Amino acid sequence: MNARPRTAPRRRGRRLDYRIPALWNCWDAPVGVISGGKQIAIDAPVYLAECLRWIEGNGAPAAPGRSLSRIRRVVRGAVGQVRTDDGPRRAGDWIRRGFMYGMMIRCATAWDHDGDGKLTGRRVNEFGTFLKSILLLPHLQKMGVDVLYLLPVVNASRLYRKGELGCPYAAKNFMALDPDQYDDAFGADYGDVDDQFRLFVTCAHRLGMRVMLDLAPRTAARDCAWILERPDWFYWIDRRFERGYRAPHIPNVTYYNPVPGRLDEVYGVPAVREHLAKFRFAPNVTAPQKWANFAAAQRRRPAANLLTEIARHFGVVTPPGFSDVVNDTQPPWSDVTYFRLFEDHPVEAVPHLPDPAAQPPYVLYDTAKASMFEGRRPMKQLWDRLANILPFYQGFGVDGARVDMAHALPNRLEAMILQRPRKKDPDFCLLAEQLGTENHARVYRGGYNIIIGPSWWMQPRGHEGQMHAFVAQTARLKVPVMAAAETPDTPRAVVRRGRRAFAMQAAVVNCFLPNAVPMINCGMEVHERQPMNLGLDAKPRDRFALPKSDPLYGKLAFFDRYALHWTNPGGAQMTELIARASTLRREYLPALTNPRAYFAPNVTMNAKHVLATAFKLPRRQGTLLMLANLDYQRARRTKVADLPGSRGACELLLTIHGAQVPRSRRGALHFDLAPGDALVVRAI
């Protein structure tokens, strides 16, 4: 597993002309080495076949199309519980023991395979694919990953696309995989894109990794395939108003979301009346027979641009989406549109409409926040369709999902989407998009197993005391929190205060936090600088994190052709550090996941600069103690006193910068921490 790639001679008839990052080859495959060992040249079909054999030989039996819990015969127990070999537990709570890897396949396994300096899909598919992601699995297993969290893999639209490729969240067909993630470079034995995704999931399961998907059911691509079937599931505006369309500004309002009982402050504004006048009834309502003929013709011979044809024949288009945050400064979402979730207007909005019957369905802050402002008549067939998306992907064997903005959906629809996959797999895991911790009890009652939480914001501000506050928050929550120094929406860890020292420290610290599940965002292990998106805690200038000389300067993986910098210096060392931390975490999981085992240690020196967590070990094995110097400029001395059951002895288990075994004096442990260091010890 740790051996370096060895040079293999070019054999007659064998093609060693397909390049991949050398870091992927952590299983000693016989390949040729090029470019100073940073890349390797392979015979693609032979390499994949050997990798599949390696996975089979080093993994457990798997069953295509079945989740790992179903393979392991986890069955339903009492309400909200499952029965395992270790006894009953809450359904989906396997995530508490997990080590997550966030992955956007299109960029995570993209590479310039032919070495021409360009990222294209002409000779071979150089974007990330399901088959190439199989080649990455040994690398992920080495780091200790056992949960793969995939950004959307659905068939996305290229209409109104942002950037060069468009966003994976602009779902054109929820019930179809992205055809661009099909790969034919490895031969004809791997079927279509469905077969290749199923094989990827099966290989992950063999290595003990579960697969979670990202689903965004509140919006769809503006040319969603469902439009031909049911245009009344969408909102429509007069085509003349498409240019310049955006959310109306509400003066003198400072609240985040529309407030029940105060919609008069929104609807009484002239800009809102102008906004409402832009909407039209769906074309199948205004011209049912003409629409039926049009839809039949489009099914026979689809147009390159469906919306252009609809605009030409009916004078309407689906409007771009916009945030449900009142007066949000971000521009409209040009590539997606909202689903119309109710046949009627929001009940609370009706008194504020001059003529509700004459007003076409519309998007406004309250209709976008349907969890707070519901109508009386749900779009039942649409709700049923949305609730069947996750069960469709369960046919590939996926183990869990995050439902994007589920908290903004009508409560009944949210419950349908969450409950339906558990009818097929009672141990299906659910990740809540809660960026704060205040609603932890609600999401726990709703059946969620984990929340995203605020670590992505608080960890880079550890020097301000935010990590101390984060630990205090997470320890008392009903659900665990994702522990991540970066996410697909934030700046990268390596550009934050402390740079690489911060990223390395975070990789260790996040493995030893109470009630938290560590997550590595793809590329963090190779010190990737460029953000994937600018959605959270980011400014426009943050997209220029790379040198101007870099061919990927200014590009964002969410929208553009992008490949991770797999050959960055320090990637192998960072990967090894993550592997050491995750191995140690796995060894002490019973204590780390036991809420009664955690306690806040008594740090009596430099407490503002030192983050510390402690866990009582069973059977008088002592205390597991993690300390981190959040000062990246100065070394800090610290003292930990009053450890229960400690006799003054200490075993150093892990250190980043070579810390010495702490000294024991008068019942306290004394530590010398280098700038940005993190260490783990067992005090006995």
Residue 478 domain-assigned (yes or no):
yes
How far from chain centre, in Å, is Cα 4?
31
CA dihedral sign, ordered 403, 408, 413, 415: positive
**pLDDT at 589 > cutoff 50:** yes
Instruction: Check which CATH number belongs to the domain holding 640 and give it.
Output: 2.60.40.1180
Which residues on adjacent β-strands are paired with residue 587? Answer: none
Read off the pLDDT band of 179 (50, 70, 90): very high
CA 110 to the chain's CA centroid: 18
pLDDT of residue 238: 97
Look at residue 35 and tell me whether its pLDDT is greater than 70: no
Are 510 and 562 in a shared domain?
Answer: yes
333: pLDDT strictly greater than 60: yes
Determine the pLDDT at residue 86. Answer: 84
Are residues 572 and 597 both part of a single domain?
Answer: no
Q: Which of 40-44, 133-137, 385-389, 524-528 has the lowest mean pLDDT?
A: 40-44
pLDDT at 620: 82
pLDDT in tens, 266-323: 999 999 999 999 999 999 999 999 999 999 999 999 999 999 999 999 999 999 999 8
pLDDT at position 650: 87
Q: Residues 186, 263: one domain?
A: no
Instruction: Give yes or no: residues 334 and 361 share one domain.
Output: yes
Domain boundary among 565, 586, 607: 586
Q: Do 575 and 596 belong to one domain?
A: no
Task: Work out the pLDDT band at 206, boundaries 50, 70, 90.
Answer: very high
Taking a C-beta distance cutoff of 8 angstroms, is the pair 551, 480 a contact? no
Tell me the pLDDT band of 670, cut-offs 50, 70 and 90. Answer: very high
CA distance 73 to 84: 8
CA pair distance 42, 654, nearest whole angstrom: 36
Question: Average pLDDT for residues 215-232, to the nearest whole number?
Answer: 96
Average of per-residue pLDDT across 103-126: 90
Asked which of 62-76, 116-130, 342-356 is least confident by mean pLDDT, the reply is 116-130
Q: Is residue 7 part of a domain?
A: no
365 lies in the same domain as 407:
no
567, 586, 605 - which closes a domain = 586
For residue 664, what pLDDT band results from cuts at 50, 70 and 90? Answer: confident
Residue 108 within any structural domain of the chain? yes
Domain that holds residue 417: 18-218+384-586
Please tell me the predicted confidence (pLDDT) of residue 5.
33
- Same domain, yes or no: 211 and 307: no
Q: Please say if the pLDDT value at position 9 is more than 80.
A: no
Check: CB of residue 4 under 8 Å from CB of residue 36: no
Sorting pLDDT into bands at 50, 70 and 90, what band is 521?
very high
User: Is 460 within 8 Å of 499 (Cβ atoms)?
Assistant: no
One domain, residues 653 and 617: yes
Does 622 lie in the same domain as 484? no
In a domain, 1, yes or no: no
Select the more confidently predicted residue: 78 or 389.
389
Q: For 561-582, b where at least 16 C-beta lie within 10 A, e where not — what string?
A: bbbbbbbbeebeebbebbbbbb
As a whole number, mean pLDDT of residues 466-493 equals 96
Domain total in the chain: 3
Q: Judge whether 104 lies within some domain.
A: yes
Half-sphere exposure of 431 (CA within 13 A, CB side): 31
Strand, coil or helix: what is 122? coil
Q: How many CA within 13 A on the CB side of residue 151?
A: 25
Q: What was the pLDDT predicted at 645?
A: 67
pLDDT score of 338 more than 50: yes
443-477 burial, b at 16+ Cβ within 10 Å, e below that, comes to bbebbbbbbbbbbbbbbbbbbeebbbebbebbbeb
CA distances from 183 to 47, 129, 157, 179 (A): 14, 6, 19, 9
- Determine, yes or no, domain membership for 671: yes
543 & 629 share domain: no
pTM here is 0.94
Query: Quick check: 463 and 629 in contact, CB under 8 A?
Result: no
pLDDT value at position 3? 35
Express as a percent the part of the chain with pLDDT over 70. 96
Domain CATH number, residue 140 = 3.20.20.80
Q: What residues contact residue 313 under an 8 Å CB cut-off, 6+ apart? A: 283, 290, 294
pLDDT beyond 60 at 482: yes
Residue 669 lies in a domain: yes
Residue 176 in domain: yes
For the chain, the average pLDDT equals: 93
Residue 429 tokens, joined: 């895991």
Residues 396 and 540 in one domain: yes
Half-sphere exposure of 507 (CA within 13 A, CB side): 35
**Averaged over 633-662, what is the pLDDT?**
88
Write down which residue in 540, 558, 586 finishes a domain. 586
Same domain for 162 and 290, yes or no, is no
